[in-house]
Amino acid sequence: MRALRLLASVLAVGVLAGCGLRADGPPDEEPTLAVPELVPVSGSVPEAVRVEIPRLAKDSAERRARRVTVRVRNVSCLGVGVGSGFAIARDVLVTNRHVLAGADTVEVSTWDGRTLSATAAEVGVLGDLGLAYVRGRLPQVGSYGAPPEPGDEVTVVGYPGGEELTLAPGTVIDLEPGERYGIAGGRIMRLTSHVEPGNSGGPVLDRRGKVAGVVYAYEVSTGFGLAIPVDSLRRLAREGGFEPVPSCGSG
């Protein structure tokens, strides 16, 4: 399988946010989720103050964050959704499974103003992760950092609401069992970083600008951001945990 071979080679060398339905799509419905309550990509989000570019990110790290992060637009039978993603190869990006769900057309916008078409190829079996193959070259490939630990300073990068790119600083609070959040296997890290619909699929970067995780939701009761740690992505690559994207309306 192309995705397994590609991810394995990339990782050897070296996820509330989410895609919200835009105004031109059908209205969202708040999903029913297990405790603790989560707001997924398509959910509503409380009024929040836009954060400034984080102090922890040096100019070089900020530039890398902008180059490696892309805006993802999904056109499907469910409407038009937006999310974020990041490059793991010049023609492959990682995002969330729910960002790619049912995609008929996937468009990727880069920091330098280009719009590329993509194929929503495969999604994670064990986690809210997905891959898309891009027709064209992405500006910069992300590099992977060490698995995050509580107390680590991080930055969430993405395109909330499908609008301008933002960088939201924060700290890793803890790592909880994935089952508590509906993710089979692995752990989920909770962050103080503010996330919104449209951030889903974007990278969580460490202080050196390396990928520490993938944003996928936020916790309603606390407002904490939730992300899948980078070691779960490595696990999927190692164990072959990807499958074809389900057809529109099938899940």
In degrees, rounded to 5, the angle at the alpha carbon of residue 82 between the alpha carbons of residues 123 and 171 is 80
Q: Encode pLDDT of 29-57 as tens digits.
A: 333 323 333 344 433 333 443 434 344 34
| Residue 246 within any structural domain of the chain | no
Q: What is the reported pLDDT for 156?
A: 96
CA distances from 9 to 24, 79, 83, 88, 192 (A): 39, 35, 26, 10, 32
| Residue 133 within any structural domain of the chain | yes
| Residue 251 within any structural domain of the chain | no
Q: What is the reported pLDDT for 153?
A: 95
pTM, two decimals, is: 0.74
Q: Encode pLDDT of 199-228 as tens digits.
A: 999 999 998 889 999 999 999 999 999 999
Look at the chain and report how many structural domains it folds into.
Answer: 1
Q: What is the reported pLDDT for 192?
A: 96
| Residue 248 within any structural domain of the chain | no
Q: Are 24 and 236 in contact (CB under 8 A)?
A: no
CA 70 to chain centre: 10
Instruction: Indicate the SS3 state at residue 31.
Output: coil
Q: What is the reported pLDDT for 25?
A: 41
| Residue 207 within any structural domain of the chain | yes
Q: What is the reported pLDDT for 43?
A: 37
**Any idea what DSSP says for residue 43?**
S
| Residue 250 within any structural domain of the chain | no
CATH number assigned to the domain comprising residue 221 = 2.40.10.120
Residues of the chain falling short of pLDDT 50: 1-19, 21-58, 251
- Closest to 224 measured CA to CA, from 172, 160, 146: 172
Tell me the Ramachandran region of residue 151: left when phi exceeds 0, alpha when psi lies from -120 to 50, beta otherwise: left
| Residue 247 within any structural domain of the chain | no
For residue 203, what are the domain limits? 1-241
Q: Is the peptide bond before 203 cis (omega within 30 degrees of 0)?
A: no
In degrees, rounded to 5, the angle at the alpha carbon of residue 65 between the alpha carbons of residues 83 and 63 is 135
CA distances from 110 to 68, 87, 165 (A): 8, 10, 10
Q: What is the reported pLDDT for 250?
A: 59
Q: What is the reported pLDDT for 29?
A: 38
| Residue 162 within any structural domain of the chain | yes
Q: Are 230 and 145 in contact (CB under 8 A)?
A: yes
As given in the structure block, the two tokens for residue 7 are: 């991810």
